[in-house]
Amino acid sequence: MNTISLTVIVPVFNEEGCLKRFTEAMDAFLEQTPVPTQVLFVNDGSTDNSLAQIKEICQQKTGYSYLALNRNYGLSTAIKAGIDTIQTTHIGYIDSDLQTSPLDFMLFFEHLPHHEMVIGIRAKRKDTFVKKISSKIANGFRRYMINDGIVDTGCPLKIMDSDYARRVPFFDGMHRFFPALIQLQGGKVKQLPVQHFERYAGYSKYHLFNRLWGPLNDTFAFRWMRKRYINYTVAEEFMNQPVANGQF
């Protein structure tokens, strides 16, 4: 555990009603985490007061940083921007809507030495019927089409090895296939039940159409990409010094 360090990426789009309470929940986790941990907010072009609140949090608290994208790009891009920025050995991901608890990350640490990703399974989901049934259909279709064995790929509670995360082939909708993309590299994925709560404030950015059509459409894109994915392992390496001043 001493060799592990963690950055938790928190994508934010118009979550001004949740950020104060979310930070309180994250503080409770930061007080208990057994590894060096920091938090990176990625403001995805919020049009409310979210960015101002994020700046205030980061100015008042150590361990909190932020990126602010120039417009709203979507969840996959926000996660990629965070991955491109962090320097720690592991990357965490959680939404700021308080439907999952940062404290459940504590369950993940014992599995990190043996798995390249640990992901939550939202037990006893506190969602609307439409949200539950659309998620069930999308998850079932994905498992049938790509056979990844992942119960709840949309659970916004993940920790992954940074090297594997950086090698993920990114595309719009990538966040729906993160576990499968880690498996594609030969990584092992552990799934654990985690708590789930009703949304604290604000509203979901997804509706029935993009909860179903987006995952179904992206599943075909993933199948196409998987057939053409390049993966390799270096057996040996020797890198000589560059030639100085053009002299041999």
pTM for the model: 0.79
180 burial class (0-12, 13-18, 19+ CB within 10 angstroms)?
A: buried
| Whether the Cβ atoms of residue 222 and residue 144 lie closer than 8 Å to each other | no
Strand-by-strand arrangement of the 117-122 sheet: 64-68, 37-43, 6-12, 90-94, 157-161, 117-122, 189-194
The first and second tokens of residue 20, run together, are 């104060």
71 burial class (0-12, 13-18, 19+ CB within 10 angstroms)?
A: exposed
So what's the pLDDT on residue 171? 74
Residues of the chain below pLDDT 50: 207
Beta bridge partners of 174: none
Distance of alpha carbon 180 from alpha carbon 183, whole angstroms: 5
Q: What is the pLDDT of residues 17-52, one digit of tens each?
A: 999 999 999 999 999 999 999 999 999 999 999 999
> Three-class SS of residue 121?
strand
For the chain, which residues make up each domain, given as ranges?
A: 6-227
The CATH class for the domain spanning 6-227 reads: alpha beta
